[in-house]
Amino acid sequence: MSSEFFGLTDLIVSKREIMLKILLGISIVLQLFAALAAVSLIRRTKYNVAWIFFTVALSVLCFIRLTQLLPLWGGAEWQLPPNFIAWLGVLVSFFFAVGVIFVREIFNYIDQLEKQRILTERRILTTVLQTEEKERQRLAKELHDGLGPLLSTAKMSLSALAKEATEENSELFGNTIAMIDEAVSSVREISNNLSPHTLQHFGLAKAVRGFLNKIPKSPQGVDIEYKTNLTTERFDDEVEVILYRVVCELVNNSMRHSGCSKIVVSLAKSGPQLTLRYADNGVGFDVEKALNKGMGLSNIYSRIRSLKGDIEMVSANGKGVKVNIKVNV
């Protein structure tokens, strides 16, 4: 009974030693791979000192594990100075601590790069929007100052000829003059849509009111309510243009797709903040899907973000849409 017990005990101890040998061997291999990985990162990051410290710490750990493993495999135990392993442990802890400090610097550097990327994107977007608006203004000026006068001159010439026309040709002249009148009106409307003269001369509040007043009433009778506490206040050109375009885009979307019977537009200034609220009682939509599928809503979000403003859009099927935009002015 006693010999069987001691035999079983020896077997358990032997299995534990084998398991310890295997685990020590695995830890050495893993630490070597980790050290090699740290070495490969030395030249790939700005703060390469962190990976140097990690490499040294992992290499020292490999040495410590090797001194523990060799005696288990029958090798002679290394004659090391007293407390040598303890000092190595302190050194490993120091290297890991310093390495972690430098790793934090790496993450701070990445955060700075991300902020710089966002700032660069905003600058690019702002430049694109400014270029687009300047091109709109140029085209509007060409239409208003170039094509408009030409059509007016042509109308005057035809009117002079119509006075001497025969009865057979009078109807033809009359139809032609009517078409020129329609063309002149179209040119003025296109020019105003490209670069609203009211926005340039009288500001955002009156430009929005002018746009809403021009909307033709549909057979269903869409009721448009406009509220504002602005009078003659003027803001930065970019702010006025972007908010005006956003209102136009939202109203056009409602008129085309929502089937609404009422639209509410509110424009108010409180302190340094300008708030635009928009709502309709239409069929509503899935905001996430609309952002992924259509350019209209994406452009609205991009424009507001270029102003560093906040936009919140809430909608669901059958519940209309509500938009809340805040911009610091």
Determine the Cα–Cα distance for residues 170 and 100; give it in Å rounded to an integer.
Answer: 92
pLDDT tens column, 216-247: 665 566 888 899 888 888 888 888 888 888 88
Give me the residue spans of the domains in the chain.
2-121, 133-194, 201-328
Each residue's pLDDT tens digit, 1-25: 455 544 555 555 566 767 767 776 7
Pick the CATH number of 201-328 from 3.60.9.10, 3.30.565.10, 3.40.190.80, 3.30.70.1340: 3.30.565.10
Question: What is the pTM (predicted TM-score) of this model?
Answer: 0.56
The pLDDT tens digits of the residues spanning 254-281 come to: 888 888 888 899 999 888 889 999 998 8
Residue-level pLDDT at 5: 46
Question: What does the alpha-carbon distance between residue 223 and residue 262 come to, in Å, rounded to a whole number?
Answer: 5
Of 148, 147, 176, 146, residue with least CA distance to 161: 176
